[in-house]
C-alpha cells in the first residue's frame, strides 16, 4: 500500500479523522504493516496491549476462549481500528483477534502516539475532545439502559392464573 492510501485509510478512522495531513503522514509512515494469513492470530486474549491496529484490507474476528469453547464477539473489516485504548494506556487484550481472510493491518505503537501528542499538543486536544464526546454518549446510553431496567424492576410480577 502506498503512503497516500494509508493516509486516506487513516482519515476514515473517527479517532484520526480531524488530524492534519502532516500528522496523518507521520502515523502512516511510522506504522508497521503486517500481513496476516487466514486464521492467523494477530493477538491473544489477556496479552499486554502496546499498540492499536487499523485494518487496511481483509477482516479480523474478535473472540473469547478457544477450541470448542471459542465464542466470536464481533467481526472487524477494512477501515476498523482495533485496540484504541492501547494507543494511550497500558492494558490487556480483552479478546483474541484472528484474521478471517488474507488481511493487512497497520500497527500503531503507543510510543508513536505519545510522541505525536507531545510534538503536536493540538492533536492531544482534538483526541481528548473526540474521546470525551464518546464518553458522554456512553454515559447517556447507560442512563437510558438504567431507566429501562428500572421500569422493568417497577413492574409488578403477575402470577399465572
* Domain range summary for the chain, segments of one domain joined by +: 3-154
The one-character DSSP state at 91 is E
Question: What local confidence, expressed as pLDDT, does residue 116 receive?
Answer: 87
Question: What local confidence, expressed as pLDDT, does residue 150 receive?
Answer: 81
- In which residue ranges of the chain is pLDDT below 70? 1, 154-161
d(CA 118, CA 112): 10
Question: What local confidence, expressed as pLDDT, does residue 160 receive?
Answer: 65
Q: Report pTM.
A: 0.81
The upper half-sphere exposure of residue 113, i.e. CA atoms within 13 Å in the direction of its Cβ, equals: 21
CATH superfamily, with its number, for domain 3-154:
Jelly Rolls (2.60.120.10)
d(CA 142, CA 85): 20
93 Cβ neighbours under 8 A, 6+ residues apart: 43, 44, 45, 46, 47, 48, 49, 83, 86
Question: What local confidence, expressed as pLDDT, does residue 136 receive?
Answer: 84
Q: Over the stretch 28-51, which tens digit does the pLDDT of each residue have? A: 999 999 999 999 999 999 999 999
Amino acid at each position: 500500500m502506498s503512503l497516500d492510501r494509508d493516509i486516506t485509510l487513516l482519515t476514515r478512522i473517527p479517532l484520526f479523522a480531524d488530524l492534519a495531513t502532516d500528522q496523518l503522514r507521520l502515523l502512516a509512515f511510522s506504522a508497521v504493516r503486517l500481513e496476516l494469513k487466514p486464521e492467523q492470530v494477530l493477538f491473544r486474549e489477556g496479552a499486554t496491549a502496546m499498540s492499536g491496529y487499523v485494518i487496511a484490507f481483509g477482516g479480523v474476528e474478535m473472540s473469547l476462549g478457544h477450541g470448542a469453547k471459542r465464542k466470536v464477539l464481533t467481526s472487524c473489516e477494512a477501515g476498523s481500528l482495533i485496540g484504541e485504548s492501547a494507543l494511550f494506556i497500558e492494558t490487556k487484550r480483552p479478546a483474541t483477534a484472528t484474521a478471517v481472510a488474507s488481511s493487512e493491518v497497520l500497527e500503531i505503537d503507543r510510543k508513536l502516539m505519545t510522541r505525536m501528542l507531545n510534538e503536536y499538543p493540538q492533536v492531544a486536544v482534538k483526541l481528548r475532545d473526540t474521546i470525551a464526546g464518546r464518553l458522554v454518549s456512553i454515559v447517556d446510553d447507560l442512563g437510558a439502559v438504567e431507566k429501562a431496567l428500572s421500569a422493568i424492576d417497577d413492574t409488578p410480577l403477575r402470577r399465572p392464573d
